[in-house]
């Protein structure tokens, strides 16, 4: 196996890190948002789940083709492994795209986030979405394994950026949710205290 082929295999396996985004998606749930928000979020979550399933299948196909090439190194097996690697990268990119769109759907409908923060986060997410969409064509057009190796590295590096930014964004979303709940509890407490005051004024023991 030559150095270029080894590099392709190592980089392609490394970009499996997209699967590590899944736990963050599970941390985002809607409980009391309106029906429209639930539909938007649930549709995005379903699309993400399907994309991850397809990604995992493509990963298994790639690993099988890789093993076959390692066992019998010839041009045909290498070509198959490279094309399976291309499909794997395309589906991994798609899974990452669906994850970012899921997060965007959450941000757009989430209570407790101020407008400025919402605009900033959705703008950052849209930049990532646009990049991932454009990357589909770039991966498809990568001519030969050397070009695919280079593109796999580019994708891997960008996913590292996404992981860092989405951790920050998820924290902002959850903080917004906490603030919304605290504000709701505070309003409820004020209402209760007001009712107690009225009762006391009426001479009733509390």
Q: What is the 3-state secondary structure (H, E, C) of 118-144?
A: HHHHHHHHHHHHHHHHHHHHHHHHCCH
pLDDT for the residue numbered 147? 86
Q: Is the whole model's pTM more than 0.75, yes or no?
A: no
Residue pLDDT tens, the chain, 206 long: 555 455 545 544 444 444 444 444 444 444 545 677 678 888 999 999 999 999 999 999 999 999 999 999 999 999 999 999 899 999 989 998 998 998 888 888 777 778 888 888 899 999 999 999 999 999 999 988 888 888 888 988 888 888 888 777 777 666 555 444 444 444 544 445 454 455 545 555 54
Geometric angle at alpha carbon 58, from 159 and 17, rounded to 5°:
25
pLDDT for the residue numbered 17? 41
76: left (phi over 0), alpha (psi -120 to 50) or beta: alpha
pLDDT for the residue numbered 108? 81
pLDDT for the residue numbered 149? 84
Nearest CA to 150 out of 74, 86, 58, 68 is that of: 86
pLDDT for the residue numbered 176? 54
Please report which residue ranges of 110-206 form alpha helices under DSSP H.
115-141, 144-201
């Amino acid at each position: 196996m030559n150095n270029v082929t080894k590099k392709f295999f190592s980089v392609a396996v490394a970009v499996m890190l997209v699967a590590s985004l899944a736990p963050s998606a599970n941390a985002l749930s809607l409980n009391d948002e309106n029906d429209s928000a639930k539909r938007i979020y649930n549709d995005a979550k379903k699309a993400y789940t399907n994309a991850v399933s397809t990604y995992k299948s493509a990963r298994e196909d790639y690993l099988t083709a890789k093993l076959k090439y390692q066992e019998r190194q010839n041009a045909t097996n290498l070509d198959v492994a490279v094309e399976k690697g291309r499909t794997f990268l395309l589906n991994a990119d798609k899974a990452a795209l669906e994850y970012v769109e899921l997060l965007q759907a959450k941000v757009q409908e989430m209570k407790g986030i101020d407008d400025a923060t919402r605009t900033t986060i959705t703008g950052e997410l849209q930049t990532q979405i646009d990049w991932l969409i454009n990357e589909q064509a770039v991966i498809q057009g990568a001519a030969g394994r050397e070009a695919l190796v280079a593109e796999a590295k580019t994708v891997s590096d960008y996913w590292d950026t996404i992981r860092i930014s989405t951790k920050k964004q998820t924290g902002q979303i959850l903080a917004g949710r906490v603030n919304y709940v605290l504000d709701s509890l505070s309003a409820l407490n004020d209402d209760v205290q007001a009712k107690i005051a009225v009762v006391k004024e009426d001479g009733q023991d509390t």
